[in-house]
Amino acid sequence: MPQPRIIVTASRGQDRTEYLDALREAGAEPVRLEPGAAAERALDGAAGLLVTGGVDVDPAAYGAPASPHITEVEPERDLLEIELLRSARERGMPTLCICRGLQIANVAFGGSLIADIPAALGSLATIPHEVGGDDGRVVRGLIAQHVVAVEPQSRLARILGATSVVTGSRHHQSADRCAEELRVVARTDDGIVEALEARFTSPFWLAVQWHPESTRTLDLGASRAIFASYVNATARSR
């Protein structure tokens, strides 16, 4: 049986190796898609959509003023991913969104974002959402303090087989006002949104704020379970 073909979004020249490897490991055929592509044409023949991490979402995309905390945006990618997400919904296409993917999905369906978590929360920012390593780079593995509480009746809880999970984290933006067509199913103790699911009918729709592609060998199977559940849904829906 042919492997399900999954569209994977990316900025021009951006390394997507971890995402592609995670999908292949789960039994899918990933196809990279960069800004400049035609969204509708790209989804023709695809079994699923994976919206990945990257630079900040442009505040203009959700009607907010520019922020001094946002220094790099990619409006062309914002527009492409918004079109892809809306079209995938209309097609009933299984969709998985990761990190920036969660943020642009919330924007695509009418929500807004926190431009910068430390600035917004101030002294209430008690959970690290981005940690620097000894080498000066952002830590890509698990962060012990970054514990995500998951709604018991959610799809995510069923996938994980748990209502609490330690994850990685490397972001300074997050969902603020949740889009009406989505619902929050996970948060950290400081209130930051860590996962969204669809209120509309879909064979699979999940957005997570952390990076399961980076922690597949570190979290006792939780990250692999997300990719396996997603790819299985794409295979069933073809």
**What's the domain range around 45?**
5-237
Q: What pLDDT is attached to residue 133?
A: 78
Q: What pLDDT is attached to residue 135?
A: 74
Catalytic site residue from 97, 99, 129, 171: 99
Q: What pLDDT is attached to residue 123?
A: 83
Here the CATH number for the domain that contains residue 59 is 3.40.50.880
pTM, two decimals, is 0.97
Catalytic site residue from 129, 146, 171, 211: 211
Q: What pLDDT is attached to residue 65?
A: 94
User: Judging by beta carbons within 10 Å of its beta carbon (0-12, 13-18, 19+), is residue 98 exposed, middle or buried?
Assistant: buried
DSSP 3-state of 219: coil
Catalytic site residue from 18, 74, 194, 213: 213
Q: What pLDDT is attached to residue 138?
A: 85
Q: Report which of 156, 167, 208, 216 is spatially closest to residue 25, judged by C-alpha positions.
A: 216
Domain count, the chain: 1
211 is catalytic: yes
Q: How far apart are CA 195 and CA 36, in angstroms?
A: 28
Residues of the chain under the 50 pLDDT cut = none
Contact 194, 223 (CB under 8 A): no
40 is catalytic: no
